Amino acid sequence: MSLWEYQARRGNPIPSQSLGPSGARCCCRASSVERSLQVVKMSGSDPERPQLLFVKVLASWGRLEAVTQQMGCHPQYLDSFLKMQHYLMHMDGPLPFDCRHYIAIMAAARHQCRYLVNLHVLQFLRAGGDPQWLRGLNFIPPKLRNLNEINKILAHRPWLITKEHIEVLAEGLSDRVRDGSIRRGGADSLPASHGWSVRVLQKLLKISEWSWSLAELVHAVVLLAHCHALASFVFGCGCEQDEGPGGRGVLKPLSPGNQCFCEATTGNSCSQELLRINRKRSLDSCMELDSLRERMQRIHVEAEGREETRLLQQDQEEDAGGAVTSAANLACYMQDPDFGYQDFARRDEDQTQVFRVQDYSWEDHGFSLVNRLYSDIGHLLDEKFRTVDGLQSSTMAKRQGCEPSVFKRGIWNYIHCMFGIRYDDYDYAEVNQLLERVLKVYIKTVTCYPEKTNSEMFDRFWKQFKHSEKVHVNLLILEARMQAELLYALQAITQYMVS
């Protein structure tokens, strides 16, 4: 049976295939919708935006995730990140909700990121996922298990993705169009105005119960790339190592060194004025900010205690009695664990050639494809890319004697270069001039071997950086890596469609 039929038999909600911008509906519980909307609809002009975002997340979810705290140094980016992630995980889309979280588990496991695995295991169960799936890849439907190969390649050597990998997943796609109409699998949501040929639309049909439609593939690819890149951010900022009592996973008092000093030109920047305002105003019945932090900390601890009790009760109620493997055992979620990053420059001569952005770019090709097959996600991804590009950090650039845009482009292009992506209009000699060796080592480790990153590296690299500037570098790593994976995967999907 298909994933949809499996969900229907288990009585789980099945998201609608209507993905239009005006007709998108959330199939999560109403409380989940309200919680997310409270966060993503914050006013960008509010000078207390970081604190309000934190309070909303804490009051709704009972805890303040370490990733949210770190990204809170740049609230404009955090806003776009939360909107994209909410749409990807909780709004209408081709994939069932529990499958989305399981794909996230598979992606995070490739980098041994327990932080993300534990988070999505909990969300998977809340979405009605089958606990038996948590025993490993051998206990999930073949359709999901077949995604393992692309997950492995995208996580470590995305340049190896080819249209043949897409063809394997889409095995059984038919050339038949019954009754002159396109059936479920993604094509029914595509208006004729897109101008695709009948031959291309025919490839959206499925005749095998475990084949992937192109819409499902795009959704899965975005999920994989998102979680791979987010794992880099988690390790790069020390969220993985420091989560828990006294670590970065616990709310810390905000200090000038932890505030956002980015000088964004879009009008959503934070400044020293935020600290002065916070001392004069309160967020809850005129309560002082220090008192509010203490309340937030108590809520965090109490909520974690309640959650642990609930999970303990849930485990006791499982009929399988210990059949579910602990999330700490990540090996069950991946195959070929020895497969890892290999320097693109040292690859064999017969492997993939350099990926030239002039031939296939996000702006000219990837954006339109992903938006056609998975409506609106392209706009949200593009907003996130543009937001991180708009963040300014004058201190980093001034130390190198260059403009902020030049410094950021050097980091971005260096990351893409490690994945074999080249820009013909860029002089790569600038990378060695702009980036000191210690920074290059840090960037490469976080990008290519995030599981080898330790919390000391975050504190050690470029000690002259403010905390918010270090987070800024990790945001560039996150977005550059995600776009690199998307470019390779979407190019392979495009080649399959036109073949």
Catalytic residues, which ones? 113
Token pair, residue 71, equals: 């990204």
DSSP one-letter code for 354 = P
Element (H, E) at 23: none
Q: Which two structure tokens, joined as six digits, stand for 398?
A: 């001034």
Report which secondary-structure segment, H or E, holds 334: none
Q: Specify the 3-state DSSP secondary structure of 326.
A: coil
Give long-range contacts, CB 8 A cutoff, 24+ apart: 39-43.
39/82, 39/86, 40/79, 40/82, 40/83, 40/86, 42/79
Hey, what long-range contacts does 321-326 have (CB within 8 A, 24 or more apart)? 323/131, 323/132, 323/135, 324/131, 324/132, 324/134, 324/135, 325/134, 325/135, 325/136
Query: Tokens 């889409």 — which residue?
Result: 170
Residue with tokens 């439609």: 213
Phi (first) and psi of residue 461, to 5 degrees: -70, 130
Distances (CA, A) of 202 to 3, 196, 354, 372: 21, 10, 31, 15
Return d(Cα 395, Cα 397) in angstroms, integer. 5
Separation CA 95–CA 136 (nearest Å): 20
Q: Of 46, 85, 111, which is closest to residue 331 (Cα–Cα)? A: 111
> Which phi and psi (to 5°) does residue 356 adopt?
-100, 120
| CA dihedral over 235, 241, 246, 249, signed as positive or negative | positive
CA–CA distances in Å: residue 472 to residues 40, 77, 264: 20, 10, 12
